[in-house]
Amino acid sequence: MDNSIRLINPASMAPPGGHYSHAVVAGGLVFVSGQLPITPSGERLNRASFEAQARQTLANVQAALEAAGSSVAQLVQVRVYITGIAHWPAFNQLYKAWAGPARPARTVVPVPELHYGFAIEVEVVGTCG
């Protein structure tokens, strides 16, 4: 059994904003930290539309997955935090297009606020290899 832990912080993403890694690979799984709408150059999209924030957040999730040797098709669980349930229909449409045929377990949690005034945060677990 491989007990190694691999930290993933791809150059294609802005460096983590705290003491964490974008993703961690262990035991054949990849755990992607909560991703926010931050561009690869580090621009915070907190003033962008919800849709623009959601697209960037999902792009960040996908970049972390791919850097770990995984993909959207290998997702097992997705947790989505949104500032207001009114965003749910728009998110669901964007997510459906992004996820394609993948249908991992998913939770959407409305929250009162997120760091830096963002409207969305997404964390996932997937398989590797």
Q: What is the pTM assigned to this prediction?
A: 0.95
Nearest to 54 by CA among 95, 102, 16: 95
What per-residue confidence (pLDDT) applies to 3? 79
pLDDT in tens, 54-64: 999 999 999 99
Supply the range of the domain harboring residue 43. Answer: 5-127
In tens, the pLDDT along 106-126 reads: 999 999 999 999 999 999 999
pLDDT 10s digits, 88-99? 999 999 999 999
Query: What number of other Cβ atoms are within 10 A of residue 85's Cβ?
Result: 10
Confidence of residue 2 (pLDDT cuts 50, 70, 90): low
What CATH code is carried by the domain that includes residue 34? 3.30.1330.40
Domain count, the chain: 1
